[in-house]
């Protein structure tokens, strides 16, 4: 039986090549998006699944409430929580704390690399599924000043030399002995650090004021992550009881309160609702389901093509249904036959879509900024998911036509009485077309807003010099030595060391107060030298530039916003005043610079401190005049002399900013989505026009014989479709415009986006639609009427 279905299906596909191609290709394109969503979602769901006791391992989250009743859900917890939980050994089998204060730079000899690390305990290796490639898991993190490095970090620091026992320096945090190398994580994880240092180091760092005092501070709920492994007979409820007792014992300050909750480690991402201080890589269900949602809409659109075409063509297959019914076929057998056909089409499309996906995975355009298509690992669950997806799509696309076919009554068909009233009939098909075009148009308008915004930001003036500025990565080289050498080049105007380049993200953020005990304001900061004003052409509104570090380490520059945030009456009033940063360093304001966009243009300018700190410099910003290529070559030659052991890394500030603002991958991705949706809609339209022209050939022939002109006939055929396009535009223009405007609300500096933009997109879509309609219609209108009439 199934063999007979397959035979008919394949022969039908082969006979109606155009329709088959439209169906398969349209479905394949949309399924490629669906596959992307499946693969992406699967990746999101695969975080932290390799730990040894997944059912007993929890992370503790905080819920902080301030005096005004405002609440924050935080992934982080105060540092002392770990010890007080560990005390209850009847309930708790183990605890581990991750204190990610091990930040900055790590160096060995002349090699320096940036570091994202955490302080933790030996229990790390017992609670989590991580292992050491080299070293002893029990002892490697036991002693103070021991450090375990990731394979990548070790390779960058030591090359091929054996790392064990080497002494490395973490800027500002002392010297550490390497006691182990981490094995690569067995699966995706949120706990991804370059290095882990022993917690036993922390007390001494706090004593020496290299780290703020946090170990016994219950108010520091932003700083660390606490994990708990329960005893095998303990319940989550018991743990939450314990957490409630801890919260009651140690209430967060007078103004607010702090409570804790336990979250299974395997359910951290995706989460319901936003969690502040979440680890990098975590996402919410809302975000995780956004792409599948869009994919589903596009898939639906492609399925509609199949449905539409199949219903339109069902009349020509009605005879077959009638014969089968009189030969003894039950309704469900007819239904199954046509669903099988749809499933065959969808499985063919699935194969094609996998090929498309593989192409996208390897295509640079999709992968410029981030991994658009995650690396696939093909295994049984994935294959089953794909197969299920194929079946699902087939049933989705073919279910309705199959049902329509199965409900035909054989007598009517076989007598030649065509059942003109199909289920829903023409209205259904028309609304499907409207849906497709409206969705496409909404996507296009949104993409246009997106594109306009990012090209606007990349073209806008950030308030500092970005042309002809080369950022040279220091990688441990001495900034003064290197700057001295480079400044001798003829084209170089000015050089300034910086802890990070402007236009992206500030080096860090710190709590600033004017007098100890004030309500702190969070300022962003960069470390830089006095020449920054000239190199980046910043405008000094009041006071003097930064002082050289060796003379006076305590001078800082503020921006205008910072001056306002500290409630100084004017820029001049701030000069000479002192401010406290992180309650530990007292600094004096030497000048005020005009506001500039040191962060992304997407956010408003926030308070900024520019301060000196040689240990924190990461780049030399070199402003030049004249030939860029020549200058780059000269700087590179100098680098080879000064720092031969490390590769030369530098970029032009304007190019780098442009590529970041241009959002090439995002625009490619969205461009692909809108291309697919437009293409599918156009295919659907093409198919329906072709079909309607085919079925009206006789009518057209008669009209032509009666003397109708080509123009009149073309109008007759197109009028209905044009009306549908109008309706689609009437729906999509306001919706798309609203969506675009909402998106732009996210940005502090917005591109102008009027309703004209939406209308422009509409015209574009109409043009595409006309390309689908016009040739078919003209061919029909110009054909010889006798041909049509004779074949009848």
Partner 1 sequence: MIQLKHISKHYPVGFGKNAVLDDIDLTIHAGEFVSIMGPSGSGKSTLLHILGLLEEPSGGEYLFEGEPVHKMSEKKRTQLHRGSIGFVFQAYHLIDELTVYENIETPLLYKNVPSSERKSRVADVLDRFNIVAKKDLFPNQLSGGQQQLVGIARAIVAEPRVIFADEPTGNLHSDQARVIMQLFKHLNETDKITIVQVTHSEQNAAFGHRVIEIRDGKIR
Q: Give the footprint of partner 1 on this chain (CB under 8 A).
A: 1, 4, 7-8, 11-12, 15, 319-320, 322-331, 333, 409-411, 414-416
421: nearest Cα among 321, 508, 519, 318: 318
Alpha helix segments (H runs only) across 363-467 = 380-406, 410-414, 425-459
DSSP string, 11-61: HHHHHSHHHHHHHHHHHHHHHHHHHHHHHHHHHHTTTT---S-TTTEEEEE
Please report how close the Cβ of residue 327 comes to partner 1 at its closest, in angstroms. 4
Nearest residue (CB) to partner 1, 263 versus 407: 407
Secondary structure (H, E, C), 465-529: CCCCEEEEECCCCCHHHHHHHHHCCCCEEEEEEECCCCCECCCEEEEEECCCCCCCEEEEEEEEC
For residue 398, give the 3-state DSSP assignment: helix
Nearer of residues 407 and 600 to partner 1, judged by Cβ: 407
Q: Tell me the closest approach of the beta carbon of residue 325 to partner 1, in angstroms.
A: 7
Least Å distance, CB 316 to partner 1, is: 10
Q: How far is the CB of 343 from partner 1 (least distance, A)?
A: 18
Nearer to partner 1, 231 or 407 (CB): 407
DSSP 716-743: HHHHHHHHHHHHHHHHHHHHHHHHHHHH
Q: Closest CB to partner 1 among 328 and 644?
A: 328
Check if the beta carbon of residue 188 is closer than 8 Å to that of residue 164: no
Inter-CA distances, 570 with 258, 557, 575, Å: 39, 14, 9
Of 6 and 738, the one with the shorter C-beta distance to partner 1 is 6
**Sign of the alpha-carbon dihedral angle for 198, 201, 206, 210:** negative
When the beta carbons of 237 and 327 are compared against partner 1, the nearer one is 327
The 3 state secondary structure assigned to 186-210 is: CCCCCCCCCEEEEHHHHHHHHHCCC
Task: Please report how close the Cβ of residue 699 comes to partner 1 at its closest, in angstroms.
Answer: 23
Residue 476 region by backbone torsions, left for phi larger than 0, else alpha for psi between -120 and 50, else beta: left
Of the candidates 395, 392, 388, the one whose C-alpha atom is nearest the C-alpha of residue 335 is: 395
- 577: preceding bond cis by omega (within 30 degrees): no
* Nearest CA among 273, 283, 230 for reference residue 60: 230
- Per-residue b/e over 347-380, b at no fewer than 16 CB within 10 Å? bbbbebbbebbeebbeeeebbebeebbeeeeeee
| Eight-state DSSP code of residue 77 | B
Rounded Cα distance between 327 and 361, Å, is 50
Residue 348 CB, shortest distance to partner 1, in Å, is 18
Least Cβ distance, residue 24 to partner 1 (angstroms):
18
Strand partners, 99: 119
Shortest distance, position 25 Cβ to partner 1, whole Å = 22
**Minimum distance of partner 1 from residue 676's CB (angstroms):** 32
Q: How far is the CB of 397 from partner 1 (least distance, A)?
A: 20
Read out DSSP for 536-558? TTPPEEEE--PPPTTT-TTEEEE
Q: How far is the CB of 406 from partner 1 (least distance, A)?
A: 12
Residue 651 has phi, psi (to 5 degrees) of -145, 155
Closest approach of partner 1 to the CB of residue 326, in Å: 5
User: Minimum distance between the CB of residue 351 and partner 1, rounded to whole angstroms?
Assistant: 23
Nearer to partner 1, 314 or 623 (CB): 314
What the block records as the tokens of 511 is 């709590």
Place of tokens 């007759």: 716
d(CA 303, CA 9): 18
User: Which lies closer to partner 1 via its Cβ, residue 336 or residue 725?
Assistant: 336
Q: Which lies closer to partner 1 via its Cβ, residue 295 or residue 406? A: 406
3-state secondary structure of 98: strand
Judged by beta carbon, residue 5 or residue 527, the one nearer partner 1 is 5
């Amino acid at each position: 039986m199934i063999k007979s279905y397959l035979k008919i299906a394949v022969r039908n596909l082969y006979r109606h090549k155009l329709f088959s191609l439209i169906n398969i290709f349209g479905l394949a394109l949309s399924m490629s998006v669906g596959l992307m969503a499946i693969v992406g979602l699967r990746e999101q769901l695969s975080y932290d699944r390799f730990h040894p006791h997944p059912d007993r391992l929890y992370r503790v989250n905080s819920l902080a409430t301030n005096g005004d009743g405002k609440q924050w859900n935080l992934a982080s917890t105060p540092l002392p929580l770990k010890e007080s939980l560990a005390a209850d050994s009847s309930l708790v089998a183990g605890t581990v704390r991750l204190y990610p204060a091990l930040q900055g730079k790590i160096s060995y000899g002349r090699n320096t690399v940036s570091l994202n690390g955490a302080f933790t305990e030996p229990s790390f290796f017992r609670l989590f599924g991580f292992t050491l490639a080299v070293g002893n898991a029990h002892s490697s993190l036991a002693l103070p000043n021991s450090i375990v490095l990731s394979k990548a970090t070790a390779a960058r620091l030591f090359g091929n030399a054996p790392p064990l026992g080497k002494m490395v320096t973490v800027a500002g945090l002392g010297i550490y002995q390497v006691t182990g190398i981490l094995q690569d994580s067995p699966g995706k994880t949120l706990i991804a650090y370059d290095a882990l240092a022993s917690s036993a180091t922390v007390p001494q760092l706090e004593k020496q004021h290299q780290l703020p005092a946090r170990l016994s501070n219950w108010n520091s709920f932003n700083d660390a992550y606490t994990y708990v492994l329960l005893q095998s007979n303990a319940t989550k409820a018991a743990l939450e009881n314990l957490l409630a007792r801890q919260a009651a014992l140690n209430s967060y300050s007078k103004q607010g309160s702090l409570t804790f909750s336990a979250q299974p480690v395997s359910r951290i991402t995706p989460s319901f609702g936003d969690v502040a201080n979440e680890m990098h890589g975590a996402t919410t269900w809302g975000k995780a389901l956004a792409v599948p949602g869009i994919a589903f809409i596009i898939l639906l659109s492609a399925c509609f093509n199949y449905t539409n075409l199949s219903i339109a063509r069902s009349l020509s297959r009605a005879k077959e249904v009638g014969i089968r019914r009189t030969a003894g076929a039950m309704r469900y057998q007819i239904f199954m036959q046509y669903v099988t056909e749809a499933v065959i089409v969808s499985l063919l499309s699935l194969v094609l879509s996998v090929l498309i996906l593989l192409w996208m995975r390897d295509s640079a355009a999709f992968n410029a900024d981030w991994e658009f298509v995650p690396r696939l690992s093909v295994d049984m669950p994935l294959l089953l998911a794909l197969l299920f997806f194929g079946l699902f799509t087939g049933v989705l696309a073919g279910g309705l036509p199959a049902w329509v076919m199965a409900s035909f009554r054989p007598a009517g068909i076989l007598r030649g009485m065509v059942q003109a009233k199909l289920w829903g009939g023409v209205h259904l098909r028309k609304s499907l077309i409207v849906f497709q075009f409206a969705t496409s148009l909404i996507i296009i308008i949104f993409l246009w807003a997106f594109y306009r915004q990012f090209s606007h930001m990349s073209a806008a003036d950030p308030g500092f010099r970005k042309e002809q500025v080369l950022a040279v990565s220091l990688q441990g080289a001495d900034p003064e030595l290197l700057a001295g050498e480079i400044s001798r080049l003829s084209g170089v105007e000015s050089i300034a060391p910086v802890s990070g380049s402007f236009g992206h993200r500030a080096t860090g953020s710190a709590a600033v107060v004017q007098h100890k005990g004030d309500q702190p304001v969070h300022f962003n900061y960069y470390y830089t030298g006095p020449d920054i004003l000239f190199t980046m052409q910043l405008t000094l509104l009041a006071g003097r530039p930064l002082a050289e570090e060796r003379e006076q380490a305590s001078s800082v520059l503020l921006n205008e916003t910072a001056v306002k945030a500290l409630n100084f009456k004017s820029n001049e009033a701030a000069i000479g005043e002192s401010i406290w940063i992180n309650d530990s360093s007292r600094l004096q304001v030497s000048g005020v610079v005009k506001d500039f966009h040191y962060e992304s243009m997407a956010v408003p300018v926030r308070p900024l401190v520019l301060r000196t700190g040689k240990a924190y410099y990461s780049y030399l910003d070199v402003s030049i005049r004249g030939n860029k290529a020549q200058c780059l070559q000269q700087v590179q030659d100098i680098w080879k002399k000064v720092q031969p052991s490390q590769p030369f890394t530098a970029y032009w500030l304007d190019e780098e900013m442009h590529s970041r603002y241009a959002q090439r991958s995002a625009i490619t991705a969205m461009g692909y989505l809108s291309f697919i949706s437009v293409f599918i809609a156009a295919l659907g339209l093409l198919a329906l026009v072709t079909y309607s022209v085919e079925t009206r050939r006789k009518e057209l022939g008669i009209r032509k014989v009666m003397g109708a002109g080509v123009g009149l006939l073309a109008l007759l055929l197109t009028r209905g479709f044009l009306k549908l396009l109008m309706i689609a535009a009437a729906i999509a223009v306001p919706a798309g415009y609203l969506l675009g405007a909402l998106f732009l609300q996210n940005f502090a500096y917005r591109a102008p986006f009027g309703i004209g933009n939406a209308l422009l997109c509409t015209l574009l879509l109409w043009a595409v639609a006309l390309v689908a309609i016009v040739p078919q219609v003209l061919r029909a209108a110009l054909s010889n009427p006798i041909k049509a009439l004779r074949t009848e």
